[in-house]
Structure 1
């Protein structure tokens, strides 16, 4: 189990957050509901979705690397 207060826990959370927001960007109903604001607290979801969609290869490789680390090394 990953500790939320460690660096690897923070990396797992951020990768899952970016992947989830990128998925929300592909679903039209969720896109208008959750990603309509670009500033403020709700803007974090929009910015994470943009990172996930533009850097999809780097995010995917990071997810695979983190999964390998959590499953086999830790």
Structure 2
């Protein structure tokens, strides 16, 4: 179990946040409601979705590496 106060916990949270926002960008109603703002606090969701869609290969490999680390090494 990872906690959010460790470096690996922050990395897991960030990767899951990016993956979730990239997935939510594909849902039309949520895309219009949540990801329409590009600035401010709500802009974080938009920026995470852009990172998830533009760098999908790097994010996928990072998720696999983090899953391997959490399951086998920690």
TM-score scaled by structure 1? 0.99
* 1:38-60 superposed Cα distances (whole Å, 9 cap, x missing partner): 00000000000000000000000
- Paired with 1:44 and 1:61, the residues of 2 have a C-alpha distance of 22
- Paired with 1:38 and 1:27, the residues of 2 have a C-alpha distance of 17
* 1:12-60 superposed Cα distances (whole Å, 9 cap, x missing partner): 0000000000001011111001000000000000000000000000000
- Detail structure 1 runs of 4+ shifted over 4 Å in the superposition: none
Q: CA RMSD in A?
A: 0.4
Aligned-residue offset at 1:3: 1.5
Please give the residue correspondences for 1:32-51 in structure 2 after superposition, counting only pairs within 5 Å: 32-51=32-51
Q: Which residues of structure 2 form unaligned runs of 5+?
A: none
**Number of matched pairs:** 74
Q: Residue 69 of structure 1 aligns to a residue in which SS? A: helix
TM-score scaled by structure 2? 0.99
Structure 2 counterpart of 1:11: 11
